[in-house]
A and B are shown apart, each in its own frame.
Chain A
Amino acid sequence: MARILRTGSFYLGLFLCSLFAIFPGIWMVISIFKKSSDLYSTGHNPFLYHPGPTLSHAIYLFTQTHFPTFVLNSAIIGGCVVGITILLAVPAAYALARLTGHWGERSGMVLFLVYLIPPSLLFLPMYQLVSFLGLANTIWGLAIVYPTITVPFCTWLLLGFFRSVPRELDEAAMIDGCSRFRAFLRIVLPLTLPGIAACIVFAFSLQLSDYIYAATFVTSSSAMTISFGVPTELIRGDVFFWQGLMAADAVVSIPLMLAYGLLFDKLVAGFQSAETAAAGG
């Protein structure tokens, strides 16, 4: 009896946690396909369709608004940010984990502190910097600024991954005649691919999540990202295109949810090794 009660409360707990997490998402997905007459009536059950569902608002979003431009901008910026982040963070993390000695071993905390400097503290000088470079109101301004969020975080995360690779492996390769750099490329890098994959997902989603920099640098629709463009362009004064807004939300959020879901265990492992490294260093 106690066992049944325990199992029951376990699954009830899981159900309630899941419901809390996805309830806004359920409402979001239901809303996409509602006809306006259905959406703006208060009488009946809002989770059902009366009359039936429609695709017209989702089609409107993709054909009559700037949403495709925002998606393209975010994808281009995302590609640049992921590229810059990996090129800077992977060598830096390896150098800190292996090559810079005692000083490098203590760098985890410093990187963490750099990551903690919030964009809301830096956005005004960043505006000056981007204006000075002539990149205000362009997607390139954002592409060059977003790695400030991703590089410290990804370096910190990768530090844990590199430290979990035994030093003996690269040393053995070097005894066999490899240079240090070759040992890094051939032996250590393949072993840290899961960490690099996690960094790619993180870098991409962190830049996708930014709102304040886009709101600061960008004013024209042609340079807007998803996060800034959707709330800015699809809400006009008091007029909300709710079905379109929810469709835009879902199109971006569901793939991200699946990617994060697949990486859930990897993320936990990443934090495990990062925490162990923090304790050791």
Chain B
Amino acid sequence: MNGGLRQLWASVADHDRRLGWVMLGPAIVYIVAFIGVPFVLAVLLSFSNATVGNPTIHHFVGLHNFIEVIHQPQFLTGLENSLLVTFVTLAVLLVLATIEVELLARPFRFKRLVQTLLILPWAMPVALAAIAWLWLLDSQFSPLDWIFRQIHVLGPGGIFGPSMHFYYLGRTGLALASIIALNVWRMLPLAVIIVLAGRLSIPQELFDQAEIDGAGLFRTLFRITIPALTPVLIVAVLFTGLLVFGDMAIVNLLTSGGPGNSTQVLPYWAFLQGINGGDLGAGAAVALFLLPVLLAVAVFALHFAYRSRED
């Protein structure tokens, strides 16, 4: 390599770095200003006595907000429900996503149509999905209740009769189950897409070999498919889990935390405290409890995903 060429390469490399910062700069400035700054403010806010009426941070009140919110019974219910809803949703999602991916990994007629139908729950904005379910689970006019009456689960002589209605959102257990069902419904398409991407990357030879060896459907599933899918299943859990954990729209619109405060979740409680209650400090303190859980899940899942890739 002669000197002129080397000089040319060096100048290009130099240029690259400069161009790199120019192209990256705007995104970094935006992310620092609108995610970095609020992130720091979120922490500062939780130690301050700021309110909606007086939103600037003037006085720091130490751990006052945290001590106050921990002593609220709604906070503990919210924490418990947030964890319960997230874990149960993820458990159901993993099973359903694995099954659905196995179905979609095969060619069949009208695949496009089926894919379009399957993706509906995720395409719907979450608030609109919650409204659709609110009507689906209506205490008086739920079509599910009508179906259950037809098959004699409800109504006179039914297993859960003689009541004509389940009152899905009126009882704590059923209301939580409804919130979980809506979360599963909404997140399943996203989980399926992530897992399907991983499933299609598994070399076909592995399956051919298993078939030659005479391995059955379940043997292939548990010996080949699921181990190979572990990294993407973790990515799916990470994605959907954090979306479920951080969501407040479903609880807000479906149950408003009721009956009583029995279906309260952390993000909605933070919203009620901070915006409806006007106490920004207390709201920020509640919201900050999302942080350690989110970080723990993210670090654990990413670490695990990378490690199992290397094996």
Q: B-contacting residues of A (Cβ < 8 Å)?
A: 6, 10-11, 13-14, 17-18, 20-25, 27-28, 31, 39-40, 42, 45-47, 84, 87-89, 91-92, 94-96, 98-101, 104, 109, 112-114, 116-129, 131, 144-145, 147-148, 151-152, 155, 174, 179-181, 205, 208-212, 215-216, 226-228, 230-231, 240, 242, 245-246, 248-249, 252-253, 256-262, 264-265, 267-272, 274-276, 278-279
- In the bound assembly, the distance between CA atoms of A34 and B132 in angstroms comes to 15
Cβ 8 A contact of B270, one of A100, A120, A231: A120
- In the bound assembly, the distance between CA atoms of A260 and B17 in angstroms comes to 37
Given the interface contacts A128-B280, A231-B253, A264-B116, does A275 sit within 8 Å of B38 by beta carbon? no
For the complex of A and B, list the 6 residue pairs with the smallest distance between their C-beta atoms, beginning with the closest.
Answer: A261-B116, A118-B246, A99-B20, A125-B41, A120-B267, A91-B23
> A120 near B197 (CB under 8 angstroms)?
no
> A22 near B120 (CB under 8 angstroms)?
yes
- In the bound assembly, the distance between CA atoms of A256 and B19 in angstroms comes to 37
Given A209-B126, A212-B249, list of 7 further CB < 8 A pairs? A91-B24, A98-B20, A124-B274, A125-B39, A129-B37, A180-B16, A249-B124
> B15 near A180 (CB under 8 angstroms)?
yes
Q: Which residue of A lies closest to B112 (CB)?
A: A261
> B115 near A24 (CB under 8 angstroms)?
no
- Which of B23, B143, B235, B290 has the most C-beta atoms of chain A within 10 angstroms of its own C-beta? B23
Please tell me which stretch of B98-106, B167-175, B207-215, B218-226 contacts chain A, meaning at least 4 of its Cβ atoms lie within 8 angstroms of it.
B98-106
Majority SS at the chain A contact face? helix
- In the bound assembly, the distance between CA atoms of A163 and B55 in angstroms comes to 44
Cβ 8 A contact of B197, one of A126, A242, A275: A275
Given the interface contacts A99-B20, A227-B127, does A145 sit within 8 Å of B34 by beta carbon? yes
- In the bound assembly, the distance between CA atoms of A276 and B231 in angstroms comes to 11
Q: Which residue of A lies closest to B37 (CB)?
A: A129
- Interface check B194, CB cutoff 8 A: yes
Inter-chain contacts of A211 with B (CB < 8 A)? 125-127, 248-249, 252
> B124 near A40 (CB under 8 angstroms)?
no
Q: Which residue of A lies closest to B130 (CB)?
A: A231
- In the bound assembly, the distance between CA atoms of A95 and B121 in angstroms comes to 35
Cβ 8 A contact of A25, one of B42, B50, B132, B232: B132
> A180 near B135 (CB under 8 angstroms)?
no
Q: Which residue of B lies closest to A144 (CB)?
A: B34
Give the shortest distance, in Å, between B192 (CB) and chain A (any CB).
9
Inter-chain contacts of B16 with A (CB < 8 A)? 98-99, 180
Q: Which residue of A lies closest to B288 (CB)?
A: A121
> A253 near B143 (CB under 8 angstroms)?
no
Cβ 8 A contact of A245, one of B118, B135, B252: B135
Q: Which residue of B lies closest to A147 (CB)?
A: B30
Task: List residues of B (272-309) whose CB comes within 8 Å of A's CBs.
Answer: 274-275, 280, 283-284, 287-288, 290-291, 294, 298, 302, 305-306, 309
Could you list 23 A-B pairs, sorted by A, with CB under 8 Å?
A13-B99, A20-B185, A25-B120, A28-B135, A94-B23, A96-B24, A100-B24, A101-B17, A116-B298, A124-B42, A124-B287, A125-B38, A151-B30, A180-B15, A212-B267, A227-B125, A231-B127, A231-B130, A249-B131, A253-B124, A256-B124, A257-B119, A260-B119
